[in-house]
Amino acid sequence: MSQSEHSTATTVKHARSPLALRIEQGFETTVFASRWIQAPLYGGLIVAELLYAYKFLVELWEMVLHINQLEETVFMLGILGLIDVTMVANLLTVVIIGGYATFVSKLDLEGNPDRPDWLTHISAGTIKIKLATSLIGISSIHLLKSFVNIANEDLEQIKWKILIHLTFLSSTILLAWTEKVMHKDHTD
C-alpha cells in the first residue's frame, strides 16, 4: 500500500463512528490473538517427539540386547530405522520451533548459546523448504531400507516409493525456486 493509499484508508477509518472503530479494533485484536489457538498443537507435537524418543530408545535397546544374533543386513536395517526416527524427530523440531516462532510468538532466545542459527532468518517459506527437504531425507532412508532388503520387497512397491520420492524431490525444487523468486522480488 502506498503512502497516499494508507493516508486515505486512515482518513476513511477515522470518519466512522467511535462505536464502529471500537468493534473493529476488538475484532482485529481477537483475530490477532487467535494465533494462540496453535500453541496447544505445538505442545501436542512436543509430546509426539517425546514418544518418538521413547521409540528410538526401545529400538536401540533391542539392538543392544540382540547384537550377537543379528545378521549384518538386519543390523543395517535397524540402524536405518534409528536414523529414520531421528529424522522424523528433526522434522518435528523444525515444525515446533519454527512454526511457533513464525505463527504464534517470537522466542526470546537472545544471548542463548544454543540458539539455532536458522532461527534468525526463519519464515513460513523457509519452514516449508526445511519440511520438504526433511521429507526427502526420510523418503531416502525408506528407499535405502528397501534396497538393502530388496530380496524381501515387492518390486511394485519399490517403484511406488521411487515415484513418491521423485515427487517429493521435484516439489521441493519447485518450492525452493518459488521462494527464491519471491524473495528476489522483495529485495529489488
Residue 1 per-residue DSSP state? -
Does residue 84 sit within a domain?
yes
Cα-based distances in Å from 142 to 38, 92, 136? 31, 18, 10
30 inside domain: no
Mean pLDDT over 34-59 rounds to 95
**Residues in contact with 160: Cβ distance below 8 Å, sequence separation at least 6, in sequence order:** none
Block residue for cell numbers 519447485: 174
Q: Which domain holds residue 152?
A: 37-187
Instruction: Give the position of cell 517470537.
Output: 106
* 11 in a structural domain: no
- Say yes or no to pLDDT of 129 above 60: yes
Where does residue 86 rank: exposed (0-12), middle (13-18), buried (19+ CB within 10 A)?
A: middle
Q: Is residue 5 part of a domain?
A: no
8 inside domain: no
Compute the C-alpha angle 119/180/95, nearest 5°: 35
25 in any annotated domain: no
Q: What pLDDT shows up at residue 10?
A: 57
Residue pLDDT, tens place only, 157-187: 999 999 999 998 998 888 888 888 877 755 5
Q: Please, what is the average pLDDT of the chain?
A: 85
Q: How far apart are CA 162 and CA 168, in angstroms?
A: 10
The pTM (predicted TM-score) of the whole model is 0.70
The torsion region of residue 171 among left (phi > 0), alpha (psi -120 to 50) and beta comes to alpha
Q: Is residue 28 part of a domain?
A: no
Query: Per the structure, how many domains does the chain have?
Result: 1
Residue 71 lies in a domain: yes
List the single range of 12-16, 49-53, 67-71, 81-85 with lowest mean pLDDT.
12-16
Residues 6+ away with beta carbon under 8 Å from 129: 172, 175, 176, 179
Burial (CB count <10 Å: 0-12, 13-18, 19+), residue 114? exposed
Please report which confidence band the pLDDT of residue 34 belongs to, taking 50, 70 and 90 as the band edges.
very high
